[in-house]
């Protein structure tokens, strides 16, 4: 399955948009689309194409896939459901906290719960994750309490979790930077002999998260090159949520993103990112490939950003509401809920219990957020270097001395 | 620190009108009160109308009008070929702008936030800055790179930086910063008209500052600094977002009996320091203000040059009020990091007491 040929078969020409011939008048491309084109575009956006890996349909039906399957107990299913509900609740609560002025900004993950929980639950404790800035669900799976995310968005710190202990790197805001960092980390895993024969218990892999827009960056493409030529155990996990702020997928690529992998010499797979089971199965496989020396792998999780890009964004300026409606029918949580109910894997008590748990979590988040202390001014000068910096120490002392004048004058520090 | 915002608010007077005035006594009816954001939009529009070779490139600048809406409505009116939503890659934006310029276009690139210029740094310093020199003038680089810069807007990491000194350090680039709507309107057009690459820094925190714009009053040259307020006690030099902070500080200093001569640099490379030298020769004192970290920066350059050219006139050492030599802090601490009215006044007083 890991033979590159399998993954490099061309996109079926019937569903491929023919690129304009070289030298053709770009004005034709730039013209406003016809109604038919809009509808075709909508369908192309919401359907993942023939290579999409899916194990649970939007209607909540279990289906099989020739290359990926998943043995999963009802208990595991319930726990995936619980993860997604709690993560969504965290997201909605933080969105509300931003609206109420408690957070400076929030980056919603609404709609991407399955992609993140599927990927996050596929990891082993020793694996390392490099997130972008929307990976609240992956953070959850790494055992990071949601309150640890708040510092970034309230502006008290740049994230307070221990990234070494949790094996979850700090959020990265400069698009694409983390992909090279992850490739390097994975090279280190290989150098340390942590890439095994598939049976080694302490074998490790790295997974790095980025968006569809990020695939245009040099860093991401360089990350692919490095990962490939050093056989680094790294899973490149692209959450294609269809938009990079206002720019649709077409603004980043002529071909489906997973197909890019073949040009770099490793497999690329498109998975239904709204299907937690498929994402789990595919990521588990990919991480295992990496741990046993067959990396890298590119996964394109085909999903959709249901909310604004951030709380500062206004999506009504650029996207069609029809698109949103089409994707609502693919909700990642709803389909698991339906499946649980229909299979009698969960009863009303279970759902009530998860709801109660999520209410409690929201309340705890709110309470924590409102009471977060502002760090003291000398935080500015701490940890700039690992060694004492006499110049900076002097700058700090002078500044604290200056501030103390206000204290004496009766000002509040 | 003491509630500086409220102090600033109570003590300060809206001075943007004044810095916006170009010194003309006439007030033709054609003037309009506009923000820096709108002035830039209007300046870009005017430049595009005047020259069909002017193109805009950037992330989200089309339908969205840019994250700050500076290009609002331009794609609608000029089309997708002249206002291009680019793929998400700064090196790509700047590198292709270099190619477009070789082909005779005048690209204006938008970098979404200061901290995102670095993926494009290589193209800026290796190609954009040096092509004219390498080709002995055969190839011109009429490229403008617009960068909303500076802090004070409560944003997350990489959204509040002041990277101007990196570019001022590179020969072949011109670097400017506007501080009010009138300059915004004219300077963007002058930058686009220039055959040299111009890094155009916009004080994002001041985008909504308003002033009267009279388009019939001709602008001063792009690379000249301007005396905003005359005074005989101490010279204060600033640029970009600090223009307003320093205007407010000068006003408060005046209430306290100190006459500040205030100079807006406008151009950071080349620097027009003659007005600064002349001023310091009269006042004997200089305070240089910038929110960028001070180490090896534009403020260091000014301090060095002033001591070289005005050594015998100085009655106090040149003092600098800058951001600290640290990464930009989390936003709850940015008020401490950024020079404010109090810190400028403190430096003015220290200089006077020397
Ligand atoms: C280098 C860089 N350029 C620009 C930005 C501003 N920006 C933040 S998010 C974003 C869009 C990212 O889209 P995508 O990669 O698809 O990820 P998504 O946010 O959709 O998950 C942009 C342009 C940035 N953070 N970094």
Distances (CA, A) of A282 to A169, A324, B272: 22, 26, 61
Q: Is A318 a catalytic residue?
A: yes
- Using pLDDT thresholds of 50, 70 and 90, give the confidence band for residue B29: low
Which CATH number goes with the domain that contains B344?
Answer: 3.40.50.920
Enumerate the residues of chain B whose CB falls inside 8 A of the CB of residue A30: 79-81
Distances (CA, A) of A263 to A131, A224, B147, B155: 24, 10, 34, 38
| Residues B123 and B240 occupy one common structural domain | no
Query: Model ipTM?
Result: 0.89
Question: Which of B59, B65, B336 is opposite residue A377, by nearest beta carbon?
Answer: B336
pLDDT tens column, A177-223: 999 999 999 999 999 999 987 678 899 999 999 999 999 999 999 99
Yes or no, beta carbons of A30 and B80 under 8 Å apart: yes
Total domains in chain B come to: 2
- Judged by DSSP in three states, A238 sits in strand
pLDDT of res. A199: 72
Yes or no, beta carbons of B324 and A381 under 8 Å apart: yes
| Residues B182 and B231 occupy one common structural domain | no
pLDDT tens column, A123-167: 999 999 999 999 999 999 999 999 999 999 999 999 999 999 999
Enumerate the residues of chain B whose CB falls inside 8 A of the CB of residue A179: none
Q: What is the DSSP code string of A162-208? A: -HHHHTBPPP--STTHHHHHHHHHHHHHHHTT---SS--TT---EEE
Question: Which of B2, B59, B64 is opposite residue A411, by nearest beta carbon?
Answer: B2
For residue A251, the chain B residue with the least C-alpha distance is: B87
| CA-based max dimension of chain B | 59
Enumerate the residues of chain B whose CB falls inside 8 A of the CB of residue A391: 325
Residues 6+ apart with CB under 8 A from A289: A2, A267, A295, A297
Enumerate the residues of chain A whose CB falls inside 8 A of the CB of residue B156: 104-105, 133, 152-153, 155, 173
Residue B329 Cα to ligand 1 midpoint, Å, equals 21
| Residues B117 and B242 occupy one common structural domain | no
Is B220 inside a domain boundary?
no
pLDDT of res. B12: 35
Is the CB of A316 inside 8 Å of chain B's CB atoms?
Answer: no
* pLDDT at B262 exceeding the cut of 80: yes
The chain-wide mean pLDDT, for chain A, equals: 91
Q: CA B145, CA B174: separation in Å to the nearest integer?
A: 10
| Residues B173 and B199 occupy one common structural domain | yes
| Residues B258 and B303 occupy one common structural domain | yes
Q: Which of A82, A89, A136, A309 is catalytic?
A: A309
pLDDT of res. A198: 65
* pLDDT at A6 exceeding the cut of 80: no
For the entire predicted model, the pTM comes to 0.91
Q: CA B216, CA B30: separation in Å to the nearest integer?
A: 8
Is B219 inside a domain boundary?
no
* pLDDT at A28 exceeding the cut of 80: no
| Contact between B310 and B304 (Cβ < 8 Å) | no
Closest to B148 (Cα-Cα) out of B198, B205, B193: B205
Residue B316 Cα to ligand 1 midpoint, Å, equals 47
Is the CB of B346 inside 8 Å of chain A's CB atoms?
Answer: yes
Question: Would you tell me the crossing angle of helices A321-328 and A35-46 to the nearest 10 degrees?
Answer: 30
| Contact between A211 and A273 (Cβ < 8 Å) | no
Residues 97-116 of B with CB under 8 A from A: 115-116
User: Mind listing the domains of chain A with CATH numbers?
Assistant: 1-31 (no CATH), 74-370 (3.40.50.970)
Is B231 inside a domain boundary?
yes
Residues 75-104 of A with CB under 8 A from B: 104
Yes or no, beta carbons of A174 and B346 under 8 Å apart: no
Q: CA A67, CA A94: separation in Å to the nearest integer?
A: 38
Lowest mean pLDDT among A170-184, A343-357, B18-32, B51-65: B18-32
| Residues B236 and B300 occupy one common structural domain | yes
Is B130 inside a domain boundary?
yes
Which CATH number goes with the domain that contains B110?
Answer: 3.40.50.970
Residue A306 Cα to ligand 1 midpoint, Å, equals 16
| Residues B184 and B259 occupy one common structural domain | no
Yes or no, beta carbons of A174 and B116 under 8 Å apart: yes
Question: What are A265's two structure tokens?
Answer: 């010499």
- Using pLDDT thresholds of 50, 70 and 90, give the confidence band for residue A322: confident
Query: Any idea which residue has 């008209």 for tokens?
Result: B193
Yes or no, beta carbons of B332 and A155 under 8 Å apart: yes
Task: Please give the angle made by the CA atoms of A204, A210 and A213, to the nearest 5 degrees.
Answer: 155
- Using pLDDT thresholds of 50, 70 and 90, give the confidence band for residue A31: low
Domain boundary among B165, B192, B214: B214
| Residues B188 and B238 occupy one common structural domain | no
Residue A89 Cα to ligand 1 midpoint, Å, equals 24
Distances (CA, A) of A63 to A60, A117, A339, B181: 9, 20, 11, 61
Closest to B202 (Cα-Cα) out of B168, B166, B239: B239
Residues 6+ apart with CB under 8 A from A208: A129, A130, A178, A179, A181, A182, A183, A223, A234, A235, A236, A237
Give residue B285's domain range.
226-353
Yes or no, beta carbons of A374 and B332 under 8 Å apart: yes
Q: CA A130, CA A183: separation in Å to the nearest integer?
A: 10
Closest to A400 (Cα-Cα) out of B345, A386, A408: A408
| Residues B204 and B263 occupy one common structural domain | no
Give the residue-averaged pLDDT of A295-321: 95
- Which residue has the CA at smallest separation from atom 3 of ligand 1? B116
* pLDDT at B13 exceeding the cut of 60: no
Residues 283-312 of A with CB under 8 A from B: 312
Is B126 inside a domain boundary?
yes
Q: What is the DSSP code string of B153-201? A: S---TTSS---HHHHHTSTT-EEEE--SHHHHHHHHHHHHH-SS-EEEE
Is B58 inside a domain boundary?
yes
Positions of E strands within chain B: 32-35, 54-58, 83-85, 106-110, 144-149, 174-177, 198-203, 210-213, 226-229, 234-238, 260-264, 267-269, 286-293, 319-323
Is B254 inside a domain boundary?
yes
pLDDT of res. A75: 98
Question: What are B296's two structure tokens?
Answer: 């090896």
- Which residue has the CA at smallest separation from atom 20 of ligand 1? A244
| Residues B207 and B331 occupy one common structural domain | no
Contact pairs from chain A to chain B, CB under 8 Å: 135
| Residues B314 and B198 occupy one common structural domain | no
Question: What are B114's two structure tokens?
Answer: 């200061």
- DSSP tag of B127: I
Question: What are A333's two structure tokens?
Answer: 């949580």
Task: Please give the angle made by the CA atoms of B283, B288 and B293, to the nearest 5 degrees.
Answer: 165
pLDDT of res. A18: 44
Question: What are B214's two structure tokens?
Answer: 């009279």
* pLDDT at B300 exceeding the cut of 90: yes
């Amino acid at each position: 399955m890991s033979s590159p040929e399998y993954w490099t078969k061309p996109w079926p020409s019937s569903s491929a948009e023919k690129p304009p011939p070289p030298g053709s008048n770009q004005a034709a491309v730039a013209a406003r689309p016809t109604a038919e084109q809009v509808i075709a575009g909508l369908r192309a956006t919401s359907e993942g194409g023939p290579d999409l890996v899916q194990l649970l349909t939007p209607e909540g039906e279990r289906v099989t896939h020739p290359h990926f399957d998943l043995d999963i107990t009802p208990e595991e299913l319930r726990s995936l459901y619980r993860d997604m509900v709690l993560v969504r609740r965290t997201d909605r609560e933080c969105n509300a906290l931003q609206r109420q002025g408690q957070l400076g900004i929030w980056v919603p993950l609404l709609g991407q719960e399955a992609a993140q929980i599927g990927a996050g639950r596929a990891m082993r404790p020793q694996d390392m994750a490099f997130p972008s800035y929307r990976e609240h669900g992956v953070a959850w799976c790494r055992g990071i309490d949601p309150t640890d995310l708040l510092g970034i968005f309230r502006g008290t710190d740049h994230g307070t979790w221990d990234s070494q202990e949790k094996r979850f790197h700090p959020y990265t805001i400069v698009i694409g930077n983390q992909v090279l960092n992850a490739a390097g980390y994975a090279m280190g895993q290989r150098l340390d002999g942590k890439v095994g024969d598939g049976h080694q218990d302490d074998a490790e892999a790295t997974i790095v998260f980025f968006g569809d827009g990020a695939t245009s960056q040099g860093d991401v493409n360089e990350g692919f090159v490095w990962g490939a030529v050093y056989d680094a155990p790294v899973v490149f996990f692209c959450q294609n949520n269809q938009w990079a702020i206002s720019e649709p997928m077409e603004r980043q690529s002529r071909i489906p993103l997973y197909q890019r992998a073949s040009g770099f010499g490793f497999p690329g797979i498109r998975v239904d990112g709204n299907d937690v089971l498929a994402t789990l199965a595919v990521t588990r496989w990919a991480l295992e490939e990496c741990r046993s020396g067959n990396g890298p792998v590119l996964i394109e999780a085909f999903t959709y950003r249901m909310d604004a890009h951030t709380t500062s964004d206004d999506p009504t300026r650029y996207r069609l509401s029809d698109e949103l409606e089409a994707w609502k029918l693919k909700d990642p949580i709803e389909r698991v809920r339906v499946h649980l109910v229909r299979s009698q894997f969960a009863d009303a008590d279970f759902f009530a219990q998860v709801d109660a748990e999520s209410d409690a979590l929201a309340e705890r988040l709110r309470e924590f957020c409102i009471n977060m202390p502002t760090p003291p001014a000398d935080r500015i000068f701490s940890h700039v270097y690992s060694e004492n910096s006499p110049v900076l120490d002097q700058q700090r002392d002078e500044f604290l001395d200056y501030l103390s004048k206000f204290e004496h004058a009766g000002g509040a520090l | 620190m003491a509630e500086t915002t409220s102090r600033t608010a109570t003590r300060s007077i809206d001075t943007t009108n004044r810095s916006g005035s170009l010194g003309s006594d006439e007030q033709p009816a054609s003037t309009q009160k506009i923000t820096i954001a709108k002035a830039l939009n209007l300046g870009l529009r005017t430049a595009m109308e005047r020259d069909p070779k002017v193109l805009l490139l950037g992330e989200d600048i089309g339908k969205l009008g840019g994250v700050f809406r500076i290009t609002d409505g331009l794609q609608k009116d000029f089309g997708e070929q002249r206002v291009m939503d680019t793929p998400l890659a700064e090196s790509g934006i700047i590198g292709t702008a270099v190619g477009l310029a070789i082909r005779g276009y005048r690209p204006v690139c938008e970098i979404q936030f200061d901290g995102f210029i670095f993926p494009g740094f290589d193209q800026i310093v290796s190609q954009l800055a040096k092509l004219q020199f390498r080709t002995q003038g055969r190839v011109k680089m009429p490229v403008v790179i617009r960068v909303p810069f500076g802090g004070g807007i409560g944003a997350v990491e990489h959204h509040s930086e002041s990277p101007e000194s990196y570019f001022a350090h590179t020969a072949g680039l011109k670097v400017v910063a506007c501080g009010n709507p009138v300059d915004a309107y004219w300077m963007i057009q002058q930058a686009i008209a220039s055959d040299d690459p111009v890094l155009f820094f916009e004080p994002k925190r001041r985008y909504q500052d308003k002033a009267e714009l009279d388009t019939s009053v001709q602008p001063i040259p792009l690379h000249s600094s301007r005396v905003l307020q005359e005074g005989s006690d101490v010279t204060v030099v600033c640029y970009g977002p600090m223009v307003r902070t320093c205007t407010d500080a000068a006003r408060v200093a005046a209430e306290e009996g100190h006459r500040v001569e205030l100079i807006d640099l406008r151009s950071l490379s080349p620097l027009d320091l003659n007005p600064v030298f002349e001023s310091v020769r009269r006042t004997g004192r200089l305070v240089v203000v910038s929110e960028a970290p001070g180490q090896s920066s534009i403020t260091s350059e000014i301090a060095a040059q002033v001591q070289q050219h005005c050594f015998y006139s100085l009655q106090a050492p040149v003092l600098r009020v800058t951001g600290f030599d640290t990464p930009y802090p989390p936003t709850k601490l940015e008020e401490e990091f950024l020079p404010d009215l109090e810190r400028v006044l403190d430096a003015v007083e220290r200089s006077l007491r020397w």
